[in-house]
């Protein structure tokens, strides 16, 4: 059997093992709302387009999107987060129940505003839809002490029954360093891998197993500019690995694919799967961390998990809106193109 065939067979076994693993998702649950209007005319009141309302869709975003991706990959997923007693919150819960995703770890609080990102899309009939503006609704305050305690308890309970813990921190307070660090220090969760996606405070977490930041997040965290320099990527990755004491790190680089770092092996440069003419990058990071975490939970190495996450990311950016990847799509992609790396 050739090397490529062995790699494909190994990745196939990992993907086929997804239904046997359970992943807890602790994070900021977001409702992604898409409102589409057909361009009618220019307003007399101001130089803006008048759109005739045609469609509205509300789908899981943020940590909810990571959980949704895990579910569509066949993983048993246990989400932990907060929603408000409002329409977006109820729609997220309804969506989860429809997908048979347990919601007992999702706290419902009347004083909380469900994070909602409303994207207004405009276009003509049978033409591409262009996002013209986004409106975010966010909580005015972080979760109180009681809610943070409930989040910790739910995450601790679920982590005991899980093969991995995915932490999705968008800065809204459901997956703070305080909660995660307490969970690791006092939660008695053993060797459960902790995989982190944190937009603004990567270095405030301790005891993390793996992280999946994108290149702009890495540049902001380190105060550097990477650009097209491979040496700069290496220096940035090695600094993050060292400062956070990680076992694994994946830096996603958009059209340049991703770079996987392992504490035992040299970094691996993986070109993007599929076309670099992407349709929509909304939520792609959630898909990547979902596939990466599921793969680690199923016994994959850092490199194997990165390859699977790269397939997932390449598939999802060709879809419009906040989307997911099915396990069958991953297996199909694997059959079409064996995993590749760029030499350095």
pLDDT, one tens digit per residue, over 294-325 is 999 999 999 999 999 999 999 998 888 788 99
DSSP state of 154: H
The percent of residues above 70 in pLDDT, for the chain, comes to 97
> How far apart, in whole angstroms, are the C-alpha atoms of residue 186 and residue 183?
6
Q: Is residue 16 scored above 80 in pLDDT?
A: yes
Distances in Å between the Cα of 183 and the Cα atoms of 27, 36, 53, 207, 318 are 13, 42, 46, 10, 37
Average pLDDT of span 46-70: 95
CA 23, 28, 30: angle at the middle one, nearest 5? Answer: 105
Q: Is residue 278 scored above 70 in pLDDT?
A: no
Q: Identify the active-site residue in 163, 197, 269, 286.
A: 286
Cα torsion 230, 232, 235, 240 to 10°: value is -110
CA nearest 333: which of 305, 313, 304, 303?
313
Over residues 193-221, the pLDDT tens digits come to 999 999 999 999 999 999 999 999 999 99
> How far apart, in whole angstroms, are the C-alpha atoms of residue 256 and residue 254?
5
> How far apart, in whole angstroms, are the C-alpha atoms of residue 312 and residue 289?
10
Number of neighbours of residue 85 by Cβ within 10 angstroms: 13
Contact (Cβ atoms closer than 8 angstroms) between residue 108 and residue 85: yes
Q: Is residue 276 scored above 70 in pLDDT?
A: no
Q: Identify the band that residue 279 occupies on the pLDDT scale cut at 50, 70 and 90.
A: low
85 is catalytic: no
> How far apart, in whole angstroms, are the C-alpha atoms of residue 204 and residue 221?
11
Over residues 233-248, the pLDDT tens digits come to 999 999 999 999 999 9
Residue that the structure tokens 């760029």 belong to: 342
| Residues sharing a CB contact under 8 Å with residue 204, sequence separation 6 or more, in sequence order | 177, 198
> What CATH number labels 3-31+60-116+139-336?
3.40.1190.20
pLDDT at position 101: 97
> How far apart, in whole angstroms, are the C-alpha atoms of residue 322 and residue 335?
25
> How far apart, in whole angstroms, are the C-alpha atoms of residue 221 and residue 112?
29
The percent of residues above 90 in pLDDT, for the chain, comes to 82
Domain layout of the chain by residue ranges: 3-31+60-116+139-336
Average pLDDT of span 268-283: 79
């Amino acid at each position: 059997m050739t090397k490529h065939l062995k790699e494909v067979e190994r990745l196939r076994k990992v993907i086929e093992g997804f239904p046997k693993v359970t992943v807890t998702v602790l994070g900021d649950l977001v409702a992604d709302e898409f409102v589409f209007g057909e361009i009618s005319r220019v307003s007399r009141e101001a130089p803006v387009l008048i759109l005739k309302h045609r469609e509205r869709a509300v789908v899981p975003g943020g940590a909810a999107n990571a959980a949704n991706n895990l579910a569509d990959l066949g993983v048993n997923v246990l989400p932990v987060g907060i929603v408000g007693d409002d329409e977006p919150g109820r729609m997220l819960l309804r969506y989860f129940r429809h997908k048979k995703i347990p919601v007992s770890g999702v706290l419902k609080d009347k004083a909380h505003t469900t994070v909602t990102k409303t994207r207004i899309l405009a276009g003509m009939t049978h033409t591409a839809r262009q996002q013209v503006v986004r409106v975010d609704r966010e909580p005015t305050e972080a979760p109180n002490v009681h809610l943070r305690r409930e989040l910790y308890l739910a995450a601790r309970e679920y982590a005991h029954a899980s093969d991995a813990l995915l932490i999705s921190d968008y800065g809204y307070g459901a997956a703070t360093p305080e909660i995660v660090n307490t969970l690791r220090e006092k939660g008695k969760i053993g060797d459960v891998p902790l995989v982190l996606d944190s937009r603004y405070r990567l270095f405030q977490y301790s005891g993390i197993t793996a992280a999946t930041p994108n290149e702009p997040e890495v540049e902001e965290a380190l105060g550097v500019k990477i650009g097209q320099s491979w040496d700069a990527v290496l220096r940035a990755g090695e600094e993050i690995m060292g400062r956070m004491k990680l076992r694994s790190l994946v830096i996603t680089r958009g059209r340049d694919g991703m770079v996987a770092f392992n504490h035992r092996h040299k970094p691996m440069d993986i070109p993007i799967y599929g076309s670099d003419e992407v349709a929509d990058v909304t939520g792609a990071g959630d898909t990547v961390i979902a596939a990466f975490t599921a793969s680690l939970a199923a016994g994959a190495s850092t490199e194997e998990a990165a390859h699977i996450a790269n397939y997932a990311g390449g598939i999802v950016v060709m879809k419009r809106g906040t989307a997911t990847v099915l396990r069958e799509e991953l297996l199909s992609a694997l059959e079409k193109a064996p995993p590749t790396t760029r030499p350095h």
